[in-house]
Amino acid sequence: MKKVETNLNRRWEDGTPHHPKSLALYAALAEIDYKHNDDYFNWKCGGDGDNGEELMYELDIIFETEDAVGADDAERGRVESAFIARSQMDIPKKKKKRKT
């Protein structure tokens, strides 16, 4: 399987282009959010650290991993299971700092 760069900073520093599916999904989400959700997420793209850019870099990893797996359905199932398992993990939330 082709190695997929998962370090978002490295992807940005190397100027790695976004996957076409990431671009399309971001555009659809931004439009839906603006039209139907009062621009709740206020998606922005094109500048350093914009939330849309960060989202697309994360989506790139998912879509590039799918592409790297290719037609091997058994491997695809393992990759999808890994994403599902990760999303269901009990990840501790950041603790809020107390004001002193």
**Would you say 9 and 61 are in contact if contact means Cβ atoms under 8 Å apart?**
no
Q: Which two tokens stand for residue 10?
A: 């490295």
Whether 52 is covered by a domain: the verdict is yes
What does the pLDDT read at residue 68?
Answer: 85
Positive/negative CA dihedral, 12, 30, 37, 59: negative
Whether 100 is covered by a domain: the verdict is no
Separation of alpha carbons 93 and 53, rounded Å? 23
What does the pLDDT read at residue 69?
Answer: 80
- With bands split at pLDDT 50, 70 and 90, how would you rate the model's confidence at 47? confident
Of the two residues 50 and 1, the one the predictor is more confident about is 50
Q: How many domains does the chain have?
A: 1
- pLDDT tens per residue, range 48-91: 778 999 999 999 999 998 888 874 555 556 666 566 555 555 55
Whether 95 is covered by a domain: the verdict is no
**Would you say 66 and 76 are in contact if contact means Cβ atoms under 8 Å apart?**
yes
Mean pLDDT value across the chain: 80
Range of the domain at 13: 8-86
